[in-house]
Amino acid sequence: MARTLAFDSITVIKSARSLFWAKGFEAASIPDLEAATGLSRSSIYNSFGSKRGLFDAAVQSYLDEIVRPRLQPLMAERVSASALAEYLDGLITVFSQPEALPTSNGCLLINTASSPLSADSHVSQLVQEYREELEVAFSRGINAAHPGLEPAVQQRLASTITGLVVASFALVRIAPAQASTLLEDAKTLVACES
C-alpha cells in the first residue's frame, strides 16, 4: 500500500517558492529546502521527483498566485481604460516598500532568466511564455486606453512597455528608484499615445 503524504503540499511549495525567489535555484541547497519546507531530502524527492521538480512547482505557484492575479484586470473580458496605468502604479507603490518581496527579491522568472538555469530549454520556454503573457496583457490595456490606435503601433508600444517592466524587475533589488523610473516612463508612454 502506498504511503499517504503527511504534509500540506501547498504550504511546502510556497515555502520553497520563497526560498527560490530569495536565493535562486542554484543557491538554494537541499539542506536549505529541507529547513524551509520541513521535509526531508527523501520526502522532497519522493513528492516532487527532484529539486528541479520542486522548483517547477514553485514557479507554477508564483505564476498562479503572484503574477496572474495582478494581471487579471488586464485579462478580463472588459478591460478598463485605466487598467494598465493602475497596474504600473501598483508596481511603483510596491517598489517603494523595501520590505515588499518584489522589491527585495525582484521577479522569480526574470531572476531565473539571468541564471545558468535559463540554458534549460523548458525554463527558457517558460520565461518566454511569461514575457509573452505580459505583452498580451499590456496590449489589452493599451487597446482599452487607446482603442483607435493602429495595431502596429499598439504592438510596438506593448513590446516597449513589456521591456520596461522586465527591466524594472531586473533592477528593483539593486536600484528600486531607477526601477520605478522605468515604470513611470512606461506610464508616460501609455498616456501619450492618443
Question: Which pLDDT band, with edges at 50, 70 and 90, does 1 fall under?
Answer: very low
Mean pLDDT, range 40-48, rounded to an integer: 95
Tens of pLDDT, residue by residue over 113-126, are 999 999 999 999 99
Distance, CA of 147 to CA of 145 (rounded, Å): 6
Q: Which residues contact 132 (CB under 8 A, 6 or more apart)?
A: none
Which has the higher per-residue pLDDT, 139 or 2? Answer: 139
- Say if residue 4's pLDDT is above 70: no
Record the pTM.
Answer: 0.91
Distance, CA of 123 to CA of 145 (rounded, Å): 33
pLDDT for position 5: 56
Q: Mean pLDDT lowest for which of 7-11, 127-131, 149-153?
A: 7-11
Q: Which residues contact 133 (CB under 8 A, 6 or more apart)?
A: 67, 71
Distance, CA of 133 to CA of 110 (rounded, Å): 13
Domains, the chain, with CATH or none? 9-192 (1.10.357.10)
C-beta of residue 180 within 8 angstroms of C-beta of residue 96: yes
- Within 59-188, strands assigned E span none
Q: Which residues contact 36 (CB under 8 A, 6 or more apart)?
A: 15, 16, 18, 19
Joined together, the cell numbers standing for residue 82 give 485605466
Q: Which residues contact 93 (CB under 8 A, 6 or more apart)?
A: none
